[in-house]
């Protein structure tokens, strides 16, 4: 698809504003232009050149299972719930059990149950882009798994609940001071594992499926490729007790491989499927850019990992050429190691760092809700509603950002906060459609998820509207570090459009979140103090921050509910129908 470069009119009035917008759009357009002979055009564009000079360290805080509308559906300036008429895009949804219509409503609790978000259910909820069956599909799925009608209705209603600055004030503070992306989608209809793999591969196995049709996903829940469900990795010790047919070694390129550059030959073992890629990367003789994956609970136990560790969230572990080669596998660490690394000032000159929470935070944080059930169950910090308290989860985000802001790395950093999937919660924006999976449904994109950028070179208090998904993060790294796109590598290229999406012109590269004037030195960078949340505030559960103190007022949804429906309980206990049917599946 040809790149259309922006044409700008330059009236005398508002000249500065037009120049700013033109520079931003032109930078994004140049960054999308495919390389030709010699240096790619992006390398010659002053804003992209400045981006590469200013940003040396990229951090990703990767959270779990929230839709955009469930967290930022009332954020001013975003594509929010106030923008949709009740009759469109699921602005109101029918509740078959309660025989009534449901509009989005505020939840304002930090702990809740976990809606279904398997691939078939997400596809049913989105209803071919109508976004109007979140309540009905949730109730149907819960009833099919043995839930009582009362419990199934509670879960159906839960999909329409949303939070705001009264529940998650720290996240809203970051969005208010920095950049919120409001058209960032989960790249695959599915739960956590596909979203984690997409972040480093811009695919979940479409290349492997095209190359090995016999490995195609066996049904719409897996196993097989592309990965569409939560599967434990192929490699032990975390695969103990998991049938081999439920594990598939992933054999396609990731950005972790392309970051190796000329040192990609360190992937000596289990590299079938990427051998041509490795040879191609080695010929570039580029210096490696170190990466680290820091996940809660990994390596924190005696001889094995802490129970807080969730293997199916550890994306590097799915790839044999990473897991079976010590030089690459040593990039995977526990969460505590991240804070030791930042405190010791041992980051190399350039780096990419991923941070993930887990089932049980190691900082002693406990939910504000003192009920025994909540105190025992909701100690996680990765935002997954099955076990995480949302205020504890945003406290982890603040702790990571504060550590970076207090270090020398802040001056040259870009911190992204992403969520891996929408968790089955409602979102009103129809996702883009990419390719077709073996089950006959689109491989992507799924519903919107939140995305934030915190950086001294970010735009201030801005909403970026570019269409993006997890593959856009790979595109960003391609642009920033001048990596060959994964889709251009010899083992991937023959199978396009199946495969990595980091050359897909329909997806942005996240560059629009940066302020060209700051990158070019014409405007002062944002000071670290803007990113720091004092420990007394960040560690308090709940944090003592109001919407007024943050400086933001949630938008009002015309005709929307101002309170949950009567009798709604986000923590309702599961009750089985009589007679009992199949047990609830693990999510």
Lowest mean pLDDT among 8-17, 191-200, 435-444: 8-17
pLDDT above 70 for 362: yes
Spatial contact of 442 and 414, defined as CB atoms under 8 Å apart: no
Percentage with pLDDT > 70 across the chain: 87
Q: Give which of 528, 479, 527 is closest to 507, Cα–Cα.
A: 479
466 burial (CB, 10 Å; 0-12 / 13-18 / 19+) is middle
For range 435-446, the mean pLDDT: 93
Percentage with pLDDT > 90 across the chain: 80
Q: Please give the class, per CATH, of domain 56-96+164-550.
A: alpha beta
Q: Give which of 308, 368, 314, 371 is closest to 336, Cα–Cα.
A: 308
Instruction: Report the pLDDT value the prediction gives residue 223, as an integer from 0 to 100.
Output: 80
Lowest mean pLDDT among 25-34, 221-230, 242-251: 25-34
Note the pLDDT tens digit of each residue in 6-42: 333 333 333 344 334 444 444 444 444 344 333 344 5
Tokens (6 digits) for 515 = 């302020």
Cβ atoms within 10 Å, residue 82? 16
Instruction: Report the pLDDT value the prediction gives residue 16, as an integer from 0 to 100.
Output: 43
Instruction: Report the pLDDT value the prediction gives residue 304, as an integer from 0 to 100.
Output: 57
Note the pLDDT tens digit of each residue in 568-585: 999 988 777 654 433 333
Note the pLDDT tens digit of each residue in 95-108: 999 999 999 999 98
Torsional sign, CA 333, 339, 345, 347: positive
Q: Give the gyration radius of the chain's Cα atoms.
A: 23
Instruction: Report the pLDDT value the prediction gives residue 284, as an integer from 0 to 100.
Output: 92
Instruction: Report the pLDDT value the prediction gives residue 450, as an integer from 0 to 100.
Output: 98
Q: Give which of 173, 168, 155 is closest to 108, Cα–Cα.
A: 168
d(CA 4, CA 168): 39
Stretch (H or E) spanning 16 = helix 15-32
d(CA 564, CA 259): 47
d(CA 446, CA 422): 8
d(CA 140, CA 97): 9
Question: Which residues, in sequence order, are CB contacts of 583 under 8 Å at separation 6+?
Answer: 145, 146
What are the residues facing 514 on neighbouring strands? 458
For range 232-252, the mean pLDDT: 72
For range 239-245, the mean pLDDT: 58
d(CA 436, CA 439): 8
Instruction: Report the pLDDT value the prediction gives residue 212, as an integer from 0 to 100.
Output: 92
3-state secondary structure of 106: strand
Instruction: Report the pLDDT value the prediction gives residue 575, as an integer from 0 to 100.
Output: 73
Instruction: Report the pLDDT value the prediction gives residue 218, as an integer from 0 to 100.
Output: 75
The CA distances from residue 327 to 7, 126, 280, 544, in Å, are: 48, 42, 19, 45
For tokens 């929470």, the residue is: 357
Torsional sign, CA 255, 259, 265, 266: negative
What are the residues facing 21 on neighbouring strands? none
Higher pLDDT residue, 344 or 218?
A: 344
Instruction: Report the pLDDT value the prediction gives residue 88, as an integer from 0 to 100.
Output: 86
Spatial contact of 273 and 252, defined as CB atoms under 8 Å apart: yes
3-state secondary structure of 212: coil
3-state secondary structure 386-436: CCECHHHHHHHHHHHHHHHHCCHHHHHEEEEEEECCCCCCCCCCCCCCECC
Instruction: Report the pLDDT value the prediction gives residue 438, as an integer from 0 to 100.
Output: 92
Average pLDDT of every residue of the chain: 89
Cα three-residue angle 572-578-579, rounded to 5 degrees: 140
d(CA 583, CA 587): 12
CA end-to-end span of the chain: 39
3-state secondary structure of 317: helix
d(CA 148, CA 150): 5
Cβ atoms within 10 Å, residue 368? 14
Note the pLDDT tens digit of each residue in 533-566: 999 999 999 999 999 999 999 999 988 888 999 9
Instruction: Report the pLDDT value the prediction gives residue 237, as an integer from 0 to 100.
Output: 61
Lowest mean pLDDT among 25-34, 164-173, 275-284, 507-516: 25-34
pLDDT above 60 for 463: yes
Instruction: Report the pLDDT value the prediction gives residue 580, as an integer from 0 to 100.
Output: 41
pTM, to two decimals: 0.91
Domain ranges for the chain = 1-44, 56-96+164-550
d(CA 354, CA 340): 15
Tokens (6 digits) for 139 = 């109730």
332 burial (CB, 10 Å; 0-12 / 13-18 / 19+) is buried
**β-bridge pairing 468-469 and 184-185:** parallel
pLDDT above 80 for 464: yes
Note the pLDDT tens digit of each residue in 138-147: 999 999 999 9
For range 397-408, the mean pLDDT: 98
For range 415-442, the mean pLDDT: 96
Lowest mean pLDDT among 41-45, 472-476, 546-550: 41-45
For tokens 């921050």, the residue is: 545
Higher pLDDT residue, 90 or 207?
A: 207
């Amino acid at each position: 698809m040809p790149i259309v470069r922006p044409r700008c009119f330059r009236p005398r009035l508002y000249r500065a504003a037009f120049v700013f917008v033109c520079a931003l759009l032109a930078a994004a357009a140049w960054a999308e232009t495919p390389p030709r002979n010699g240096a790619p055009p992006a390398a010659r564009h002053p804003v992209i050149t400045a981006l590469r000079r200013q940003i040396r360290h990229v951090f990703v805080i990767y959270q779990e299972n929230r839709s955009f509308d469930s967290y930022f559906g009332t954020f001013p300036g975003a594509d929010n719930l106030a923008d949709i008429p009740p009759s469109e895009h699921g602005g109101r949804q029918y509740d078959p059990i309660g025989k009534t219509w449901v509009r989005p409503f505020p939840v304002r609790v930090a702990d809740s149950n976990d809606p279904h978000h398997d691939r078939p259910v997400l596809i049913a909820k989105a209803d071919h882009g109508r976004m109007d069956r979140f309540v009905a599909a949730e109730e149907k799925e819960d009833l099919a798994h043995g839930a009582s009608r009362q419990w199934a209705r509670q879960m159906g209603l839960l999909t329409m609940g949303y939070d705001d600055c009264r529940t998650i004030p720290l996240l809203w503070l970051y969005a208010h001071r920095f950049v919120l992306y409001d058209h960032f989608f989960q790249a695959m209809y599915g739960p956590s594992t596909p979203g984690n793999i997409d972040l480093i591969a811009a695919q979940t196995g479409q290349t492997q499926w095209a190359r090995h049709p016999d490995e195609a996903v066996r049904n719409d829940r897996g196993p097989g490729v592309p990965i569409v469900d939560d599967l434990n990795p192929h490699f032990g010790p975390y695969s103990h007790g998991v049938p081999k047919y439920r594990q598939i070694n992933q054999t396609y390129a990731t950005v972790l491989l392309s970051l190796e550059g000329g040192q990609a030959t360190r992937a000596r073992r289990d590299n079938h499927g990427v051998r041509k890629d490795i040879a191609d990367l080695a010929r570039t003789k580029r210096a490696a850019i170190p990466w680290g994956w820091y996940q809660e609970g990994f390596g924190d136990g005696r001889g094995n990992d802490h129970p807080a560790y969730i293997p199916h969230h550890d994306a590097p572990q799915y790839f044999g050429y990473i897991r079976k080669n010590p030089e690459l596998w040593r990039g995977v660490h526990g969460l505590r190691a991240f804070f030791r690394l930042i405190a010791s000032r041992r980051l190399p000159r350039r780096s990419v760092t991923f941070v993930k929470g887990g089932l049980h935070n190691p900082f002693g944080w406990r939910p504000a809700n003192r009920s025994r059930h909540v105190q025992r169950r909701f100690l996680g910090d990765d935002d997954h509603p099955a076990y995480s308290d949302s205020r504890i989860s945003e406290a982890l985000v603040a702790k990571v950002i504060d550590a970076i802001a207090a270090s020398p790395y802040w001056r040259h950093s870009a911190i992204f906060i992403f969520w891996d999937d929408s968790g089955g919660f409602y979102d009103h924006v129809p996702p883009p459609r990419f390719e077709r999976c073996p089950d006959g449904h689109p491989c992507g994109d799924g519903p919107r998820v939140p995305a934030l950028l915190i950086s001294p070179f970010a735009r201030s208090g801005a909403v970026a509207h570019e269409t993006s998904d997890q593959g856009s993060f790979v595109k960003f790294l391609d642009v920033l570090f001048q990596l060959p796109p994964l889709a251009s590598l010899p083992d991937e290229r023959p199978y396009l459009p199946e495969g990595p999406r980091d050359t897909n012109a329909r997806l942005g590269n996240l560059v629009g979140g940066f302020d060209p004037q700051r990158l070019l030195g014409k405007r002062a960078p944002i000071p670290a103090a803007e990113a720091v949340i004092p420990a007394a505030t960040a560690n308090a559960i709940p944090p003592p921050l109001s919407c007024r103190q943050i400086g933001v007022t949630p938008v009002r949804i015309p005709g929307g509910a101002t309170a949950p429906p009567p009798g709604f309980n986000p923590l309702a206990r599961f009750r089985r129908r009589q007679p009992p049917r199949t047990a609830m599946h693990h999510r």
